[in-house]
Structure 1
Amino acid sequence: MNPRSVVILGSTGSIGTQALELIGRNRDRFHVVALSAGGDNVALLAEQALEFGVQVVAVAKATVAQDLQLAFYAEAQRKGYAQGEFRIPKILTGPDAAGELAAMPCDVVLNGVNGSVGLHATLSALEAGNTLALANKESLVIGGPIVTRLAKPGQIVPVDSEHSAIAQCLRGGSPDEVRKLLLTASGGPFLGRPRSELENVTVEQALDHPNFAMGPVVTINSATLVNKGLELIEAHLLFGIPMDRIDVVIHRQQAIHSMVEFVDGSTMAQIGVPTMTVPIALALGWPDRIPDATRPWDFAEASTWTFQPVDDAEFPSVQLAREAGARGGTAPAVFNAANEVCVQAFRDGRLPFVAIVDTVARVVTDHDVPSYEELSVDDVLAADAWARTRAREITGVRESQQA
């Protein structure tokens, strides 16, 4: 069996590095042909490229192209290569470079880019006919019907642990047998704490996730439960289940990654240790499983699992996302864009933690969703830009400060 050719977008981030670790242990199954990154860590990107012998690398920041080239030489020297013993990969630069890689002939594109900037790459991969292992939930949330119209059946394989769990559970029944999807959430670091105690939350406290090791934006989104709101919209789009048949439940231990309730009253759950390795492995190898991707849950060890409903007063972001998803059109794009601005403002110390969702709610309320005969990419990008500007106005952040 020939190894699957893989393009990894966002290779220096949390998803990308974990994917490469997995591939490094399964080189008979996978072959990495291209990598992309934002450009903040060219040393790591060069190390990854030489380790896996990739043909092409891409960086979003065109200004770091020379730094990347120097990093290649430094890494080659560190590995002990003599001059001429290695070939520098082709370097692509600019905001559309990841999209170019996504369109390369390959078996799987792993989109691990963070934020709405991943939309172009998602569309490029689908247009090229490549299987899309999707960790960049924002591109599906904001693109909505643009993405789903373009995708062939089975072309998108989810990488989010919750949606991977649902995809696995759905193997146990036909679509017309599904009554409800149940997304599980840890509740983040502030579960059970009243709003009055969260006024002075620090970035470090918000990044202290109880179970998963993730990138900073996703971790903060988990603390506000915005991430779960995005996942709710994503589940609706991925699986074609109406929003009112998708619930979110707090499961602190995150042993169960999500569940599917069937019409006969039975519920199927996917269980595993809290790690992204299994969803990544399954997405890259879909529909086949990769043996020993991670250790199984040890049922010989005593443990207690708890479940509770989401308190909308404590976590208003889930209901806000549900309303944005129900409105459709550009409302999900506005929800996501406003949140990205507010999270960055919080990380920069310009916005209190409790004001993140409050500000997002104001922006979503201010947005008048036009009637679209057919939503276009230009419509989404215009709404995204409007939401960012409006969020900056509310938070008192000038464009130059946010850049």
Structure 2
Amino acid sequence: MELKRVVVTGLGALTPIGNTKDEYWDGLLSGKSGAAPITYYDTEKFKTKFACELKDFNVTDFIDRKEARKMDRFAQYAMVAADEAIADAKLDLDTVDKLRVGVIWGAGIGGLETFQNEVLNFASGDGTPRFNPFFIPKMIADIAPGNISIKHGFMGPNYTTVSACASSANAMFDALNSIRLGHTDVVVTGGSEAAVTIAGMGGFNAMHALSTRNESPETASRPFDGTRDGFVLGEGAGALILEEYEHAKARGAKIYAEFIGGGLSSDAHHMTAPHPDGIGVIAVMKNCLQNAGIKPEDVDHINTHGTSTPLGDVAELKAISEVFGDHAKSININSTKSMTGHLLGAAGAIEAISVILAMENGIVPPTINHTTVDEKIDPELNLTLNKAQKREVKIGMSNTFGFGGHNACVVFKKLD
């Protein structure tokens, strides 16, 4: 059967450097750091005392207070970003066939704060199990797309993909295939995460995964830098409206880009560490190129996973050099996590949005906070260091990798 074409017609973003799609893009181009001391709880006894929290965000500006109390923050974030994307796409909710509109979402952890608080409340009591009746529906990772579909009446496929930090890229690839195969006309996709909590920060600190640059949090996320010491945890959500091309064209929708392919693979190596030779990463990018029907030399820009960890950054760049050969030196490579921190299950979505907006605007956001050369990294690679670079991007790729060895890659094309 002939696969249907899929395009992006709406975007929504709620990030540590901007609470809308436009604010997020402005933050990226200006090289804004979202990292700052944590405000949610007392960090005195924690190794890492900073994160990339949302700024000036009040959920009751978007969701009724009573309804918001029934949702964990990760689900609130999902609702806000999805609503922005739906509005941006100018979908007519009165005429669209809601049986053919799906919601496929990504979340690596889900309602961590809800789980943490309910267990702490129980542990501090007399042993009587007094749990909030919304404990379970607030906590479960699939509730975010559930809430989106309930609000708008979307009755197509509805579920959450969970593959750690690759979750929202997995969701986007599933959404792509749902439309390609003719099962849906429109899919709301993306991801959200809210892990800046006592449990989240404490857990990642115990793994020695987080930067501890407490004296200078705004410079702590420094992908590819020789002094990087771990990632910076972020929170928020990204949403994309994917639509079958003819369906979008028939209603006169603005088209940001064509979603031409994706790839998946596994490192099959270690619970948390990447394969040192990047074998799984090589495979996922090759799978993505093949799925999209393009050649390595067609790619102009790659938004890397680039978390600012000593092992991961080197392995990914080695893999890029292996897959793209000499053309790797002609690609604008960047890591927007240098600004947003690592949004875990939402990372793939907000980074795909960055790729799409780079394509639309002809400029690639920078990798900030680079001061020291890492001798393990090829100096001829263009890592878009410290300043945005003007560049026509006809085809852009985004990589996301998760604990457990999960690898996902998506690729977009400027519409002909």
TM-score (norm 1): 0.26
Q: Which has the higher contact order (CA 8 A, sep 6+)?
A: 2
Structure number with larger C-alpha Rg: 1
